[in-house]
Amino acid sequence: MRNSLDSVIKPGRYIGNEWNSIHKDHSSVDVKIALCFPDIYEVGMSHLGLKLLYSLLNQREDVACERVFAPWMDMERVMRDKSIPLSSLETHTHLNQFDIVGFSLQYEMSYTNVLNMLDLGGIPKESSLREGLPLVMGGGPCTLNPESIADFFDIFFIGEAEEAFLEIVDIFKGVRASQGKGEVSHREKEELLFHLAKVQGVYIPSFYNVGYEPCGKVKDITPRYGWLPEKIKKRTVLDLDNAHYPTKPVVPFIQIIHDRIGLEVMRGCPSKCRFCQATSIYSPRRERSMDKLLNLAKETFANTGYEELSLLSLSTGDYSNIMELISRLHETFKGKGVKISLPSLRASSIMKGLETILKFTKGGTITFAPEAGTERLREVINKRLKIEELLKVARLIYQAGRRNIKLYFMLGLPTEEYEDIDGIAELILNVSSMRKELDGKWGGVTVSVSSFIPKPHTPFQWARMETIDALTGKQEYLKTSIRKNRWVKMDFHEPRLSFLEGVFSRGDRRLSSVLKRGWEMGCRFDGWTEHFNFQLWQEAFKQTGLDPDFYALRERDIREVLPWSHIDCGVPDEFLKKEWVAVEANKPQHVLRRPASR
Ligand code: SF4
C-alpha cells in the first residue's frame, strides 16, 4: 500500500505511525484484533468508540489491536490493480491474518464498505464460506437489528463493549489454547462460537433459524440449540465513572472530521422522543462525575495537545451540573488556548446557564433540534420543547454577538400535515427575527432537514415511511416557503438515500443477498451522496427478487414478528406498543393534500 501513495489523494489516510499509535510485536501476543471502520480514515478516527476499544484492548499485554479503515475509491483501484491486500495501519498486517476482525456498524449505508473491506482483505464475505479464523464480529448501533447484514458475520455484539470485549478475548484465548496451534478447523470454530454465545450481548446469527410466512413476513426466529437464549440481551456498562476512557488517543497527521478531545460526560438521555433509537441504545442514563471528567480532560490534553474539547453525550445540556462543569473546565484550561464546544442542546436545559455557555464556549454555533414545526406534531413525537424558550434563548445568543444558530428538523414524521411544514418555515423565520429586534438585521440560521426513518426498538418501529416522491415534494414545499430569506441556509438529506437506510434498518436476513449484489455491481460509500447510485440499488433489488417498499413503506401490524424481535435492548415491548397505540389513536382520518399554491 505504501508504495502506491503518490497516486492517491490524501496519502495521510494510509501511512499510520501517528502520535500515540501502538505497535506491538505479534509474536509476543496471544490475540491479534483488527478494529475496522467501514468508512474513510477521517470519519473513523473521529469516532470515540473506536479510540476507546483501541486503547482498552491494547492495555492488555496479550493483545495487539490495530486499526483498518475503508480505502477511498482511488486507493481501492490501485489495490485491485496491483493485488495489494487491505492491511492494518500499525504493522501492515493483512486483514486475513488477524484472529478477530471487528467492524464498527454505525450506519446502514456503510454496509457495502464492510463487504468491500472483507473482499480486499482476502476474507470470504459470507460466514458460511469461511473456514477457520479470523472471526468476523460486528458491534455498534446497527446491531439493534443486524439481520440485513447477518450473512456476513460470525458474531454480533449488542450493547456497550467495554467489559464484554475483554470477556470475549479471554474466552477466545482459553479455547484456542486448548485447541493447539495451526489452522482452525470447522469443528474448532464451532466450539469457539459455542463458548462465545454464552457471553451476555453476544449473538451468533448462524445459531438462530428464521422462518418466513408465504407473504414474506417473518414467521419465527428460533435458536438452533435448546441452551441458547430466545432473546439476546443488550450489554450495558453500569459504572460509567470507572469505565475505561481513552486519555491517550491517536492524534492524526491529517485533518479529520472531529479533530478534538471528545469528553463523554453522560450516556443515555432523560427524554423519550418516539423516533429516537439512540435513547433505546444507550439507556439507562448514566453520568461521569465532575472530578473524574476534569481529570480525564487534563490527562487527555497533556497527551494530545488538542485545542478543542467537546462535551459529548446525547443531550449534554441535561448533564446535572453542566454549567459548573463548563466553568471549571474553563478555569482548568485558562490561558492554554483550549476551546470548549457543545453538541445539540435542549433550549430549556440551558436557559438558566446560558450566560455561562456563551461566555466560555467561544465562537461555535449553538445547535437546537426542534425536529417538528408545530406543537401538535412535537407532541406526537414526544419532543418536549417550549417555543417561547427557544426564541428567548435565540435572542440572547444573537445579543451575545453570535451570528448563527443551527436547527434540526425532520420531514415525513407520522401524522405530519402541510401545516406542520408551514410551522417549520415559521419557526425558522421567528428564530432569525430575534436578531432583527436587536439591530434590525436578520439572524443567521443554518437548517438541516432529514427524513424520518422508522427505526427498530422505538415506538415508531411499526410506522410506514414516506415515499421518495412525498419526501421530495415536502422538501420542495419547505424550500419555497423560505426561499426569500438569504440568512437562512438549508441542507436537505437525499430522500432516496433515506429510503434505502429505511429498508436496511428494518430489514431481515434476505437483504444480505441485495447487499452482496449491490456491492458486486459497484456500490461503495453509499452514504456519500456523490457516490450513491440509486439505479444500481434498484437493479440489485430486481435481480434478487426483493421489494424495497415491503421493508420501508409498509406499516407493520403490532402483532407481527419483527426481524429484530429476538434482540432485547432493555426497553420493554409493552412500553413501545403503548406509545405507538397512543399515536395511532390520534392519527388524522383524512387524506393529506399539498396546498394548491403558496
Ligand atoms: S432528546 Fe435527543 S437523544 Fe434524547 S430522546 Fe430526544 S432525540 Fe433522542
Q: Work out the pLDDT band at 403, boundaries 50, 70, 90.
A: confident
Find cell 432485547 and name the residue. Answer: 568
- Cα–Cα distance measured from residue 403 to residue 435, given in angstroms and rounded to the nearest whole number: 9
- Out of 269, 345, 579, give the residue to mutate to test ligand 1, the one with the largest number of ligand atoms within 8 Å of its CB: 269
Per-residue confidence (pLDDT) for residue 6, from 0 to 100: 85
pLDDT 10s digits, 127-182: 999 989 999 999 999 999 999 999 999 999 999 999 999 999 999 999 999 998 78
2 alpha carbon to ligand 1 midpoint, in Å?
43
pLDDT 10s digits, 445-467: 999 999 999 999 999 999 999 99
Identify the residue whose C-alpha is closest to ligand 1 atom 6.
Answer: 273
Identify the residue whose C-alpha is closest to ligand 1 atom 3.
Answer: 314
pLDDT 10s digits, 566-583: 999 999 999 999 999 998
Per-residue confidence (pLDDT) for residue 341, from 0 to 100: 86
Contact 258, 310 (CB under 8 A): yes
361 has pLDDT over 80:
no
How crowded is residue 532: how many other Cβ atoms within 10 Å of its Cβ? 18
- Out of 313, 314, 383, 579, give the residue to mutate to test ligand 1, the one with the largest number of ligand atoms within 8 Å of its CB: 314
In the chain, the percentage of residues whose pLDDT exceeds 90 is 84
Q: Do domains 258-344 and 365-505+577-586 have the same CATH topology?
A: yes
pLDDT 10s digits, 16-71: 999 999 999 999 999 999 999 999 999 999 999 999 999 999 999 999 999 999 99
Write down the pTM of the prediction. Answer: 0.94
Domain extents for the chain? 2-233, 258-344, 365-505+577-586
Mean pLDDT of 340-367: 74
Pocket residues for ligand 1 (CB within 6 Å)?
A: 269, 271-273, 276, 278-279, 314-315
277 alpha carbon to ligand 1 midpoint, in Å?
8
Per-residue buried b or exposed e for 485-494, using 16+ beta carbons within 10 Å of the residue's own CB: bebbebebbb
Domain 258-344 coded CATH 3.30.750.210: yes
Supply the mean pLDDT for the chain: 93
Question: Residue 202's beta-bridge partner residues?
Answer: 157
79 alpha carbon to ligand 1 midpoint, in Å?
42
Q: What are phi and psi of 249, to 5 degrees?
A: -70, 160
Contact 294, 332 (CB under 8 A): yes
Q: Work out the pLDDT band at 363, boundaries 50, 70, 90.
A: low
240 has pLDDT over 90:
yes
pLDDT 10s digits, 503-561: 999 999 999 999 999 999 999 999 999 999 999 999 999 999 999 999 999 999 999 99
Where is pLDDT greater, at 354 or 279? 279
pLDDT 10s digits, 260-285: 999 999 999 999 999 999 999 999 99
75 alpha carbon to ligand 1 midpoint, in Å?
38
pLDDT 10s digits, 467-510: 999 999 999 999 998 877 788 999 999 999 999 999 999 999 99
In the chain, the percentage of residues whose pLDDT exceeds 70 is 96
CATH topology for 365-505+577-586 is Transcription Regulator spoIIAA (3.30.750)
414 alpha carbon to ligand 1 midpoint, in Å?
17
Per-residue confidence (pLDDT) for residue 384, from 0 to 100: 84
592 has pLDDT over 60:
no
591 has pLDDT over 60:
no
- Cα–Cα distance measured from residue 146 to residue 549, given in angstroms and rounded to the nearest whole number: 19
